[in-house]
Structure formats: C-alpha cells, structure tokens
Structure 1
Amino acid sequence: MKYSLFVCDDDQMQVNDIVKMIGKAEEIISDDHAIAFDVASATNFVEAKEYLEDNVYNGGIYLLDIELGQEVDQNNGFDLAEFIKKQDKRAQIVFITTHADLSLISFERRLGPVDYIVKPRDSEDHDRFKQRLVATLEVAMSNIENFDYTEKLTFHYKVGRQVRNINIDDIIYISTTPTPHKLVMVNVRGKNQFFGSINQYAKESTDLIKISQSCLANPKNIKLIDLPKYKVTFVNGDTVDFSQSAYKRMQHLFDKIQV
C-alpha cells in the first residue's frame, strides 16, 4: 500500500536527513507488509501551503517542524497543521521540534498530533530519532486504516452549525416529520431531530435500508417483520409500515431473521 508523506522543515539538510530516514523506515516496515512512501517536502510555510493546495492529500502523513522560519508565533508548524486539518480530515500530524515542551499549544489548538519527535543533536540521538520515526509512522498508518473502518460505522448529521456523530448500531430508524425536510432519528437513547432527506441519507449510509419514502431502518434493530400486513416492529416496540416496493427486500430480510 502507498502512503503520502509530506515533510516541512526550514533546514534543507534536515529535510534531506528525514527523507533518508523515511526510506530506511519503509524498508523496516516492509519486512512485515509491503508498503511504499510517496514523499514530498517544503522548507517554509508559504511553499508548503501552496504545494498542499495544489496536491490535496486524503489520509496523508505530515512531518512538520514547529519552528518554521525561527518564529513560533507566526506561520509556524502549528499554523500549517491547522491548515492541513481543514482540508485532510484523515491527516496524521507528526511534529518535529527542538522543544519537547510545546505540546500544550497543540492541545489548546485541538491539533491532535500522532507524536512529537525531538530533533537529534548527536549520533545517539539520531538512532533514537530513527527508531521513534519508524514506530510513529506505523501508528499513523494504523490510524489511517482504522479511520476508514470507524467512518463506516458512524452516522453524521447536522444540527444547526454543529456536526454530530452516532454509532450506526445505535440507530433504530429515521423517519420524516410533518415539517418539510425535517427528520427524526429514533435511537437507543431517545430521539433527535435534524434537517435532511431520506434519499440523501439512504445514499450516504449503506448500513441503513430504505423501507419507504418516509423511513430508513437499521436492519440490526428490526425485531419482527409482518409481510402480509407490510409492517416492521423494531426492538423498542415501535411499528412502522413498509412500502410495496420494499417487499422483496423485506422478504429477504425476513428469511435472514428466521434463521
């Protein structure tokens, strides 16, 4: 599998050194499973931003020097990480720094880096840096893979300007309301209302099935299917009608439930 890596450090020699170590890390990690790193780099904030605007990553690994341009308070690695997080939601940020005590700033800015790695000062530090880099890259790769899995299990919906998430397994069903474009989600903890359309969420959430023009159901939370009466009973006791067009789908589901 190929992973996109981006290195940004204001010292070109440091960039070259990190790129070499990434090559070594690729060899070490590939002993267990074949991977490849596609590496790009920049030496300042503006150059990095321009490159990443033209080459948008989806699940990139970013090794960023915090002190870009010798300034910690303007166009630094934190600022670059903030920009990256806005355009790559799967971004794996790794800060490379001469100061091990800057983690609080990252926490306050909600940047959620994978790791902080302190720059090596001698050959012994250099070996430790390489070992830490290998371990960190493995964590970043695992995070990217797990993100896809978690994303599939999560239902996203918007309330006002806020995006909320719920585990799909907790959803019982989603149905329309008398208010146009307003939906109600019935879940194991209660009910939530939000704006959207059944067709929209039917396309986005393949784990939910459309049983009528007004209802999306979670098949895992269906308790009974009454085929002659075109009715579904959910685990919470609610009963909802399904449409004639969904009959074959419900018949197939009925057969699975009976097994």
Structure 2
Amino acid sequence: MLEVFICDDNAVFRGKLKQLLENTILREKLDLKITISTKDPEEILDYVKANNVTGIYFLDVDLKNEMNGIKLGEKIREIDSRGYIIFTTTHLEMSYLAFKYKVEAMDYVIKDDDDFKTRVNSCIIKAFNTYYKEGHNKDYISINTDTRIINLRFNDILFIETTGTAHKIRIHEENRQVELYGNLKDIQKKLTPNFYRCHKCYIVNKDKIEEIDKKKNKIIMTNGEECYVSFRYKRGLLL
C-alpha cells in the first residue's frame, strides 16, 4: 500500500500538514496511512531502506539539518524509484535544486500561498490515483467498506486465507493485513494467473514465495510469513 511521510523541522507546521492530510484521507476514503511525521530525515531514510514501500513524501526544503529536503529527496529516489515527492517551502528560489539533483518531484508547493491546502489535496489524490491506475491497467482489486475504499494491487498481495469467522477472509500484504467478507472461490476469479489455490484455506501469490518446505507442507513468503500447501495441491505448485 501507499504510505505517507512528512519531514519538516517546524513542529507547528508539521502538525497542521499532518491534520490536513488526515482530513483528506478520511474525506476521500483513500487507502493511505501516515507512517512517519518527523523533523529527522534519517528517520525516514532508515524506514524506507528497511521496508519495501512506495511512498508519498512531503519534504520541507530547508530542514535546518546537515541534509536539506532536496538532498533527502535525492536519497529517497535512489531507494523508492516510484515514490511521489512533494517539496514544501517558503523559498521558491530554491526550486531549481530539485532539477539539479534530478529528484523528479511531483510538485513544489509554497507554504504561505493561498492555494496551499488545495495544492496539497490535489497532490495526494493524484498520487493515489496514479499509483493504482497508471497505464489504465486493471491490476488491482477495489474493496468498498463503510469507511473507505481499499485498493489492493495484485503485486502487493502475498497470500489470502480464511479466518475463524464465517464468510470472512484475510488478505496479507508485506506490511499489513486486510479482512473482508467473502470467500476464496469468488475472490480467486478476480485474481491474475500467478495466484494459486494451494490449500482449502489458502490462495498464494507464486511470485512472492521465498521457499517451499516440502516435508512440512509449508510455504515461506518473501516477508517471512508462512502459509500451507496441502498434499493434493502441492504438485501443481511445484510445476
């Protein structure tokens, strides 16, 4: 899923920006979460390095740190090539640096402009729509709940399992789990061919398998999570 990051040395502004983004996420029912809001650029870099994420980054240009926002954006781009970087600043004259460092920023928003809120809202909605609909390919599933619309990209799904609750299933991604009402038979019809029904309780994304323990009939996924394959379906998985 898409994660949102804020880096700004001004605690008051940082809090206002976070509240603005949270309101937009709630109002537009966006399947996003604000993962880190900090003044420390290294905190964001450490997280992005340790986790396989695509992010939306709101970076202050002047962080009053050894690393300014433009340099942070450059380092983020090296790790997260698909991320959406938005610079926020009062220094319009520094915008040329984003081009100099080849950050490929999505936008450059001036903090004290009258249309700041509108620009920020536009950026986060555009990033969200681009991530899920780029190329106009239907490579995701949309799940409409009472509070939000959850878009699950096929490539982000590790496996799907039944739960202890009747007619409820759980979808596992790298960094989260989503529960919804449904059954494996119906959801499998919406999936791509790389998803395989390996057990009466599991559907696995074959592209996300790290290892298969044939003795224990166990599948280890790329993030270390485990699911099971039955004897009946093992042969088809190993082909």
Q: Scaled by the length of structure 2, what TM-score is found? A: 0.52
Secondary structure of the structure 1 residue equivalent to 2:125: helix
Aligned to 2:50: 54
Cα offset, 1:55, TM superposition: 3.7
Change over 3 Å in CA distance of 1:52–1:114 after alignment to 2? same
User: In structure 2, which of residues 58, 63, 67 is the aligned counterpart of residue 63 of structure 1?
Assistant: 58
Secondary structure of the structure 1 residue equivalent to 2:33: strand
Structural RMSD (CA): 2.5
Cα offset, 1:79, TM superposition: 1.0
Aligned to 2:97: 105
Aligned to 2:86: 94
Change over 3 Å in CA distance of 1:77–1:56 after alignment to 2? farther
* Correspondences of 1:100-249 after superposition (within 5 Å): 100-120=92-112, 125=114, 128-147=115-134
Cα offset, 1:76, TM superposition: 0.6
1:117-142 superposed Cα distances (whole Å, 9 cap, x missing partner): 11137xxx3xx222111111112112
Q: Which runs of 5+ in 2 are unaligned?
A: 140-192, 194-239
Secondary structure of the structure 2 residue equivalent to 1:101: helix
CA distance in 1, matches of 2:14, 2:23: 14
The question of whether the paired residues in 1 share the 8 Å contact of 2:9 and 2:63 is answered with yes
CA distance in 1, matches of 2:116, 2:22: 14
Fraction of identical pairs, as percent: 26
1:83-105 superposed Cα distances (whole Å, 9 cap, x missing partner): 11111111100001111232211
Amino acid corresponding to residue 37 of structure 1 in structure 2? K
Q: Which runs of 5+ in 1 are unaligned?
A: 153-205, 207-259
Aligned length: 139
CA distance in 1, matches of 2:100, 2:5: 24
Structure showing greater Rg: 1
User: In structure 2, which of residues 40, 44, 53 is the aligned counterpart of residue 44 of structure 1?
Assistant: 40
Q: Hey, which bits of structure 1, 4+ residues long, moved more than 3 A? A: 146-150
- Where relative contact order (Cα < 8 A, 6+ residues apart) is larger, the structure is 2
Cα offset, 1:110, TM superposition: 1.2
Q: Scaled by the length of structure 1, what TM-score is found? A: 0.48
Structure with the larger helix share: 1
Change over 3 Å in CA distance of 1:55–1:42 after alignment to 2? farther
The question of whether the paired residues in 2 share the 8 Å contact of 1:56 and 1:87 is answered with no
Change over 3 Å in CA distance of 1:15–1:56 after alignment to 2? farther
